[in-house]
């Protein structure tokens, strides 16, 4: 029987990992990859890693550590490639990693904020 952390992740998301920042301070992202997630739309406020108040538009449970300022989109990699116009993407503004009682498994939660439709800096 799979652990709770893996059994609840029955959706797919496209994930662009953060590589670095360009000269303007904008994130540079790696090539897209597809990961298993549990995606919940949300409407609340939170704080980003710099302590600024940001709007939280989605909470996402993932199975791996994800860097803040990475980007995500709910759907498969194949579906993303078939879209004619750029979809709404989300930026990771928060990440928490909570161990279970025995410290064997972790619950990883991302807080996402909706981005404007500008194209990302890809490496």
pLDDT tens-place string over residues 60-113 = 999 999 999 999 999 999 888 877 777 889 999 999 999 989 888 899 999 999
Q: Is residue 121 part of a domain?
A: no
Judge whether 123 lies within some domain: no
Q: Is residue 120 situated within a structural domain?
A: no
H helices of the chain, in order, are 4-7, 77-82
Which residue range(s) make up the domain with 21?
A: 4-115
Report the CATH number that the domain containing residue 79 is assigned in CATH: 2.40.10
* SS3 label, residue 77: helix
Do residues 87 and 66 make contact, with C-beta atoms less than 8 angstroms apart?
no
State how many domains the chain has. Answer: 1
The chain-wide mean pLDDT, for the chain, equals 86
The answer to whether residues 3 and 105 touch, using CB atoms and an 8 Å cutoff, is yes
């Amino acid at each position: 029987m799979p652990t709770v952390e893996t059994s609840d992740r029955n959706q797919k998301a496209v994930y662009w990992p953060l590589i670095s920042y360009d000269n303007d301070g904008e994130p540079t992202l790696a090539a897209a990859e597809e990961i298993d997630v549990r995606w919940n739309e949300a409407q609340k406020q939170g704080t980003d890693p710099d302590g600024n108040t940001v709007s939280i538009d989605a909470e996402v449970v993932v199975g791996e550590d994800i860097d803040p300022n990475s980007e995500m989109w709910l759907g498969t990699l194949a579906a993303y490639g078939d879209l004619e116009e750029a979809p709404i993407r989300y930026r990771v503004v928060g990440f928490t990693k909570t161990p279970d009682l025995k410290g064997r498994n972790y619950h990883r939660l991302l807080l996402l904020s909706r981005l404007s439709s500008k194209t990302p800096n890809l490496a």
